[in-house]
Amino acid sequence: MNDKFHIRSRPDLCILRPINDVAVFVRTASQYGIGSRELLSGSGIEMEELDDPHHIITAMQEITVGHRLAKLAPVPWIGLELGQHHHLISKGKLGMAAMCCETVSDAIKLMMSYIELSSTYFQFDITVKGDLGFIRVKEMVRIKDLHRFMCETEIVSIHTIGALITDDINFFKELHLAYTAPDYAARYKEVFRCPVVFGAPEHLIIFDAALLDKPLKFANSLTRKVLEQECGQLCQRLNEQKTIKDKIRHELLFMSKDFPTLDQLARRINMTERTIRRKLTMEGTSYKDILCEIRKHHALELIRTTDFSMAKISELLCYSDVASFHHAFKVWTGTTPASYRKKIQSKYISVPL
């Protein structure tokens, strides 16, 4: 393998995704006595949809379930546990197609080509220098209270998948992580079996570059061809089901600052204001309606998951004053923010997305 090997996954977060990873969340939660209904509460995902391999959900629905798992799990290292269940088979046809490739590098290239089927929240940049390979893992979205959970899940998943493809549990030679060491840092070495550096400038995995040329024992070109065609069809289906509302809602859900004006959003998604208005009208909604929906979602999440004052929540949601926030909240729910918080302290209220 020469130094010219370089592959990078797409830099944008996919709006829609298969339900596969949520099914893994549910299976992992059950090991801690957390029921499926309790875990899915608030996500808008129905129990019967877990049994439908063709069902598609949004990234935000998946994140909502992740929030619930991180909150309900009795151990702080649940991300390390969860990642071990995100193996190739859990990735459906994409994982099976990767197993049928000729070499490790072929499998990596295939998975990067259909990365939207992996339901990742990260971009991968893989290079080779001399005898070493480097995987740079870049976060495409940063959710403060889920940051370490999401990183742990993803990095362990990479290790689990890499160990299976290469048939080498010592796949990682070194791991660098761009966050401080948790109290349970000793568990990292148990999982990754290599030196782990915390507080690094970036997430970086170092491995033996020779593994990229390693033949895969389940290589089968005909089966791979069939599975890869099906991966292509599923990617097309994900793209076809996206509406302009989905795209705008997706952009706004992950905004960390003030919500943009329609003109600012139009430039962000490379579309004219006129086109956005026309398409939203065809879909029976408006930019104002979507903003209202997003504010409602964030308000309910903040009240449910934090102890922020109503003044702080009002500020985070860009309201001019607390009174305006109170008025909007009462329109949404029929009650005041304080009454809503008091009620959910004793019982979690499900709010479909």
Check whether 113 has a pLDDT greater than 70. Answer: yes
Torsion of CA 283, 288, 289, 293, to 10 degrees: 130
> DSSP of 80-132, one letter per residue?
HHHHTT--TGGGTHHHHHHHTSSBHHHHHHHHHHTGGGGT-SEEEEEEEETTE
Inter-helix orientation angle 273-282/287-305, to 10°: 80
Question: Does 206 share its domain with 271?
Answer: no
Q: Which residue has the tokens 């944008």?
A: 12
pLDDT of residue 317: 87
Query: The domain spanning residue 25 has which CATH number?
Result: 3.90.1520.10
Query: The domain spanning residue 276 has which CATH number?
Result: 1.10.10.60
For residue 83, name the pLDDT band (cuts at 50, 70, 90): very high
- Of 105, 52, 100, the residue nearest 228 (C-alpha): 100
Burial of 14 (0-12, 13-18, 19+ CB in 10 A): buried
Domain assignment present for 353: no
**Of 218, 236, 254, which residue constitutes the final position of a domain?**
236
**Of 236, 271, 304, which residue constitutes the final position of a domain?**
236
Domain assignment present for 89: yes
pLDDT of residue 185: 96
Question: Does 119 share its domain with 260?
Answer: no
Q: What residues make up the domain containing 140?
A: 6-236
Pairing, β 122-129 against β 132-139: antiparallel
Question: Does 88 share its domain with 229?
Answer: yes
- Phi-psi sector, 122: left (phi>0), alpha (psi -120 to 50), beta: beta
Q: Which residue has the tokens 């490379």?
A: 270
Domain assignment present for 216: yes
Distance (Å, rounded) from C-alpha 15 to C-alpha 300?
21
Torsion of CA 162, 168, 173, 175, to 10 degrees: 40
Check whether 345 has a pLDDT greater than 80. Answer: no
Q: Which residue type is seen at 309?
A: S
- Of 147, 140, 153, 167, the residue nearest 8 (C-alpha): 140
Give pLDDT tens digits for 262-317: 998 888 888 899 999 999 999 999 999 998 988 888 888 788 778 889 999 998 88
Question: Does 46 share its domain with 175?
Answer: yes
Question: Does 314 share its domain with 205?
Answer: no
Check whether 351 has a pLDDT greater than 60. Answer: no
Pairing, β 122-129 against β 56-58: unpaired
Question: Does 25 share its domain with 110?
Answer: yes
Distance (Å, rounded) from C-alpha 329 to C-alpha 16?
28
Around Cβ 25, how many Cβ atoms within 10 Å?
Answer: 25
pLDDT of residue 349: 43
DSSP conformation class of 184: T
Mean pLDDT over the full length of the chain: 90
Which residues are CB-neighbours of 41 under 8 A, at least 6 positions away? Answer: 68, 348, 350
pLDDT of residue 107: 96
- The stretch 97-114 carries a mean pLDDT of 96
Give pLDDT tens digits for 197-206: 999 999 999 9
For residue 12, name the pLDDT band (cuts at 50, 70, 90): confident
pLDDT of residue 304: 78
Query: Is the distance from CB of 155 to CB of 188 less than 8 angstroms?
Result: no
Question: Does 135 share its domain with 283?
Answer: no
For residue 133, name the pLDDT band (cuts at 50, 70, 90): very high
Domain assignment present for 349: no
Residue-level length of the chain: 353
Question: Does 219 share its domain with 248?
Answer: no
The gap from C-alpha 33 to its chain's centroid, in whole angstroms, comes to: 24
Number of domains in the chain: 2
Domain assignment present for 352: no
Q: Across-strand partners of 206?
A: 134, 174
Give pLDDT tens digits for 188-198: 999 999 999 99
Domain assignment present for 1: no
Task: Classify each residue of 318-351 as buried b or exposed e, where b means 16 or more C-beta atoms within 10 Å of its C-beta.
Answer: ebeebeebbebbeebbeeebeebbeeeeeeeeeb
Cα atoms found within 13 Å of the Cα of residue 272, Cβ hemisphere only:
3
Question: Does 162 share its domain with 15?
Answer: yes
Domain assignment present for 332: yes
Domain assignment present for 46: yes
Question: Does 227 share its domain with 281?
Answer: no
Distance (Å, rounded) from C-alpha 89 to C-alpha 2?
30
Give pLDDT tens digits for 22-75: 999 999 999 999 999 999 988 889 999 999 988 999 998 999 899 899 989 999
DSSP conformation class of 265: H
Give pLDDT tens digits for 224-275: 999 999 999 999 988 877 788 888 888 887 775 678 889 988 888 888 999 9
Strand order in the sheet with 122-129: 6-8, 122-129, 132-139, 203-208, 172-177, 196-198
Question: Does 203 share its domain with 250?
Answer: no
**Of 236, 252, 285, which residue constitutes the final position of a domain?**
236
Question: Does 310 share its domain with 221?
Answer: no
For the chain, how are helix, strand and coil distributed in percent, rounded to 5?
55, 10, 35
